[in-house]
């Protein structure tokens, strides 16, 4: 279902949002017409320098961001990867869980189903428009477990929660967009209960030769594992998905 049918957004605003989304992820594809010409297929991201600029950008592109951009970059497979990310978080019935940079809520709704009506799910994002979109989706689906969802406008670098508060945390396609990855992971570490996990799904800088040839990403799995351990996580493992196009960091406090 198109986002424009979920909320009252004019055609002009939606078209503008789509243009900005595609501008964030310009794809260049050249098929090898000869044996001497290498195929090139690279993802590049426009840099937004500070949190306020990123907040403004994501508010503008909220009507189409998640489905359009993630379908574009993942060839529609992001739905499968998101289910895997939720599973890796270790969230279970009755847990109190957090989805950081929740966007339009894909991971958060999966978390809600995972923890059930006895659990509590908080979706945090710094874009009011993204949260409005997610809330609209919640209202359209009458699942009892979705009543356990709370939406919070906040910063991933300064989480408005007390220490050791959550049983599990997820972050889907959000770490690439924060201005300080270390600080974002430090904050998640702070609010996680001891022994609990964070599951971070994002595009990956693969070590596989074929994948490296077709994708550019700033984050390598080993670097994220090292960063998580430096912050204080007791264990950290990065899993490559779909031949290395995607990656999921699983870190245990």
For 120-179, what is each residue's pLDDT tens digit?
A: 999 999 888 889 888 888 888 778 889 999 999 999 999 999 999 999 999 998 998 899
Average pLDDT over residues 30-56: 38
pLDDT at residue 144, rounded to an integer = 87
Mean pLDDT: which of 16-20, 44-48, 62-66, 89-93 is highest? Answer: 89-93
pLDDT category at 53 given cuts 50, 70, 90 is: low
Backbone φ/ψ region at 161: left (φ over 0), alpha (ψ -120 to 50), beta: beta
pLDDT at residue 178, rounded to an integer = 92
Average pLDDT over residues 26-53: 36
Q: Please give the residue that has the higher pLDDT: either 60 or 122.
A: 122
- Residue 84 structure tokens: 């895997």
The count of other CB atoms within 10 Å of the CB of residue 216 is: 12
pLDDT at residue 226, rounded to an integer = 97
pLDDT at residue 143, rounded to an integer = 85
pLDDT at residue 244, rounded to an integer = 77
pLDDT at residue 25, rounded to an integer = 41
Q: How far apart are CA 90 and CA 114, in angstroms?
A: 9
pLDDT at residue 173, rounded to an integer = 87
Q: Is residue 84 pLDDT above 70, yes or no?
A: yes
- Give the CA distances from residue 134 to residues 76, 100, 218, 248, in Å, rounded to whole numbers and listed in that order: 19, 13, 28, 23
pLDDT category at 40 given cuts 50, 70, 90 is: very low
pLDDT at residue 236, rounded to an integer = 98
Q: How far apart are CA 206 and CA 244, in angstroms?
A: 5
pLDDT at residue 51, rounded to an integer = 56
pLDDT at residue 81, rounded to an integer = 87
- Residue 185 structure tokens: 């992971």
pLDDT category at 242 given cuts 50, 70, 90 is: confident
The count of other CB atoms within 10 Å of the CB of residue 166 is: 24
Chain mean pLDDT for the chain: 76
């Amino acid at each position: 279902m198109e986002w424009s049918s979920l909320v009252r957004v004019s055609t002009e605003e939606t078209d503008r949002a789509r243009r900005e989304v595609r501008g964030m992820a310009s794809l260049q594809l050249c098929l090898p017409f000869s044996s001497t010409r290498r195929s090139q297929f690279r993802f590049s991201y426009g840099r937004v320098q500070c949190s306020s600029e990123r907040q403004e950008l994501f508010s503008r592109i909220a009507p189409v961001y998640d489905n359009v951009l993630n379908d574009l970059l993942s060839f529609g497979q992001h739905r499968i990867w998101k289910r895997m990310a939720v599973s890796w978080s270790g969230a279970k019935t009755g847990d109190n869980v957090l989805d950081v940079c929740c966007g339009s809520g894909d991971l958060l709704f999966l978390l809600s189903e995972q923890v059930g009506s006895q659990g509590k799910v908080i979706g945090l994002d710094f874009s009011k428009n993204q949260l409005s979109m997610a809330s609209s989706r919640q209202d359209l689906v009458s699942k009892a477990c979705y009543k356990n969802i709370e939406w919070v406008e906040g910063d991933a670098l300064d989480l408005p929660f007390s220490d050791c508060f959550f049983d599990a945390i997820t972050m889907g396609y959000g770490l690439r967009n924060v201005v300080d990855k270390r600080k974002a992971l430090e904050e998640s570490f702070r609010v996680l209960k001891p022994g609990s996990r964070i599951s971070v799904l994002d595009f990956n800088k693969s070590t596989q030769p074929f994948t490296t040839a077709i994708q550019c990403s700033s984050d390598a799995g080993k670097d994220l594992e090292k960063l998580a351990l430096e912050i204080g996580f007791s264990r950290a493992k990065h899993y490559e998905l779909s031949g290395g196009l995607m990656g999921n960091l699983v870190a245990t406090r």
